[in-house]
Amino acid sequence: MKKLTLWILFLTVFTIGVELAPKDAEAIPAFARKYKTACITCHATFPRLTAQGEAFRLNGYKMPGGDELFIKDQPMSLGAAGYKRVFPKSVWPSDIPGMPPVAIRFTQKTVYGIGDNDPTVDFNAPSTKILAAGSMGEDMSFFTEFEFEDEASEISGWLMWEDLLDGAIGENHLNIKIGSVGMQDLALPNTRSHNMITTEMYLYTSAMGLHAEGGSNTGLELNGFDKWWRYNLGITQGDGETAKKDFYGAASFKLGGLGYDGSGGTTEEGGLSTTPAGYWRDDSIAFGFFGYRSYNGPQDEESDRYGVDLRLNYRDLSVAAGYISGKDIEDHMSGLLLDQDVYFGEAEYFAYPWLQPYVRFEGLSVSGADNTSRVIAGAVMLARANVKFNVEGRFYTDNEPATDGAGNRVVFSLDYAF
Amino acid sequence: MRKSKIVTLFIALIAAFSLLSGGSIVQAEEGGHAHGGGHHGGGTIKGLVKTPWVKRYPAIVYVDHVDGTFPPPKENVFIGQSNLTFKPRIMPVLKGTTVDFTNDDNVVHNVFAPPGAAKEFNLGTYGVGVTKTETFDKLGEVPLLCNVHAEMDAFVVVLQNPYYTLTDKKGNFEIKGVPAGSYKLKVWHEKLKEATQDVVVEAGKTASVKFKGLKKR
């Protein structure tokens, strides 16, 4: 009850909301160049996607309703469309981006520890991401990311082949993605690092071992979408050391606003509900669920995760909530089987196009251990469309970790992409 | 460049002459070929193909069938190949028209029509300055490809009568000199499914037609 009261208090004080349309793409200025359009066409605030951006992402990095019509930087043809008639005596025609579809994103955090354990100021090493993404012809898209942070680096990427049945069961109802898949396509993908407004990771994902930071494991995924629904079914290598594979399934539904396929919207023009000062608006409700079976560790400790989520966007306010139940099925190493519950509520408010305060309350309970709960509160400020600052506090309301750097803190973050 | 200017000037002169003589004009893409024709005492079909696609690629609007026989032009028309592109890319022609495929480039080219074309053919690979010809004697769409440069493409659309035109970048079209009668007016576009509308043409009058809601192929 105390938590609930605190949560309501924060909501009232900050008058904030959550923007939680399902999202999962990086801010990639290469697309801004290709279409000669500003970041806000697809992001509010980057890297979080607008409804239009989400439709663009789902559609294989192509503008719904005739991508060719919007392209300013013409792609380089790898074969005219007429070569489809020649197949199999020719390579299926395609194209590649006219300019190298490469972008760079830079992030640097300064952390002020305000907990009892580490009252220090640290200028963290910056992280840099090199991103390359785009489409190849009408039915293929790709994404590659190189991330460098301190002395570590990480590479991920995928190729998606869209509309495998050429619309026989509905356009974009069956696509296959090969490469780095997994967490980014679960029911609440905005919780992954690529889509967060906050600088703080979500307990929702990080506490459940759902690869929220890296965002993926290697495997393949079938997915599809229509105006009001989307789904993902995937199998990945997992973290185990034997041949057992993780697998997952997710579905999301959306009522109102712009459809996942880019159709619909609520303005009199029939487009996205937006104004020149409200490109982020998408009055809608979305909800989803997912299940994830994973095998971790040297002996394939087995666990299940089931999650549900709800998202509501209304004018300048967004709110969202998510809940995951985690259950260890088998643990060969310790024999200790844990039940875990994690939840969060989040709100974000567009006070100005360049200023969005936000707040999140999240909690974790693990069988046999003390409950953890905390509040993430802050604001994101756009200095330019592609340059942002976050000021954000992390305050534990229950069970503040004693580990250095893991307790209460305030973070100042600089983030830009070009 | 100089040759292109001469061709453009030539086409402009033919267009002006045809307009003055009251015949219909086919708007050709990128300084392509104009086709004269028409029927004294006929009517005009004027209208709009409402789709953003026409800004990028022109549509052909044509009367599907008109009673009578329409002899093809006595002189060949031509589609050039320069800077690794077909010029013009879109060419409506009257059935029986012979097209000269010139190689105005500085590399070898090939011209072929793939399976599924109204007429399948392959002119082979040929060198700079060489011209090969093909007569289009079957109605329908003929995509053109070059097997040396896979990105090159063009379309010849073979039609039964001379009452056709290309849209401008706003989708506007006008076909003059159409004999009075009831017809099916059709739209061809390389990216869109064919659309048809009924139209009644009266002598000395203008019939208006608007195509909208065209679906992607």
Within a 13 Å sphere around the CA of B142, how many CA atoms are in the beta-carbon half? 26
Whether residue A80 and residue B145 make contact (CB cut-off 8 A), yes or no, is yes
CA distance A27 to A46: 6
Sequence length of chain A is 418
Under the banding of pLDDT at 50, 70 and 90, the label for residue A27 is low
DSSP state of A174: S
Test A80 with B191 for CB contact under 8 angstroms.
no
Residues of B in contact with A86 (CB under 8 A): 114-115, 145
Structure tokens at A390: 């976050």
Long-range contacts from A376-384, C-beta under 8 angstroms, 24+ separation: A376/A198, A376/A200, A377/A10, A377/A14, A378/A198, A378/A199, A378/A411, A379/A355, A380/A45, A380/A197, A380/A355, A380/A356, A381/A354, A381/A355, A382/A45, A382/A353, A382/A354, A382/A355, A383/A354, A384/A416
pLDDT at residue number A281: 87
CB-CB under 8 Å, A68 with B191: yes
**Cβ contact B150–A81 (<8 Å):** no
For an interface test with A, give the residue of B85, B153, B191 to mutate (most A CBs within 10 A): B153
Tell me the per-residue pLDDT of A197-245, one tens digit each, with 9 for 90 and over: 899 988 877 766 665 444 467 899 999 999 999 999 999 887 766 678 8
Q: Count CB pairs under 8 A between chains A and B.
A: 44
The predicted structure's pLDDT at residue B6? 52
From first to last of its 217 residues, what are the pLDDT tens digits of chain B? 444 555 455 545 544 444 333 333 333 333 333 344 455 579 999 999 999 999 999 999 999 999 999 999 999 999 999 999 999 999 999 999 999 999 999 999 999 999 999 999 999 999 999 999 999 999 999 999 999 999 999 999 999 999 999 999 999 999 999 999 999 999 999 999 999 999 999 999 999 999 999 998 8
| Top-confidence range, A29-33, A152-156, B124-128 | B124-128
Nearest CA to A390 among A355, A339, A348? A355
Note the pLDDT of residue A263.
Answer: 87
Task: For residue A82, give the nearest of B52, B53, B145 by CB distance.
Answer: B145
Domains and their CATH numbers in chain A: 2-417 (2.40.160.10)
Would you say residue A71 has pLDDT above 80?
yes
- A272 pLDDT band, cuts 50/70/90, is low
Q: Do A80 and B151 touch (CB under 8 A)?
A: yes
Stated as kind and residue range, the H or E segment containing A254 is strand A246-255
Question: What pLDDT is attached to residue B34?
Answer: 36
Tokens 């955090």 sit on residue: A109
Residue A93 contacts B, CB cutoff 8 Å: yes
* Cα A103 from Cα A32, distance rounded (Å): 10
Question: Per-residue DSSP letters for B102-118?
Answer: EE-SSS-EEEEE-TTSS
Beta-carbon count within 10 A of A150 CB:
9
Dmax (CA) for chain A in angstroms is 71
Q: Report the topology of domain B71-159.
A: Immunoglobulin-like (2.60.40)
Tokens of B128: 């700079």
Whether the per-residue pLDDT at A308 is higher than 50: the answer is yes
CA distances from B56 to B53, B81, B168 (A): 6, 20, 10
pLDDT at A259: 92
> Is A82–B143 a contact, with Cβ atoms under 8 angstroms apart?
yes
Select the more confidently predicted residue: A49 or B111. B111
pLDDT of residue A35 exceeding 70: yes
Residue A87 to chain B, least CA–CA distance (Å): 9
Q: Which two tokens stand for residue B145?
A: 């490809």
For residue A47, say if its preceding peptide bond is cis, omega within 30 degrees of 0: yes
Alpha-carbon distances, residue A204 vs A55, A362, A395, A402 (angstroms): 25, 8, 16, 21
Residue B139's nearest CA partner among B164, B171, B107 is: B164
Query: What was the ipTM of the complex prediction?
Result: 0.72
Q: Which of A374, A386, A379, A385 minimizes the C-alpha distance to A417?
A: A386
Q: Judge whether A234 and A220 are in contact, CB under 8 Å.
A: yes
| Cross-chain residue pair B114–A93, CB shorter than 8 Å | no
A252 pLDDT band (50/70/90 cuts)? very high
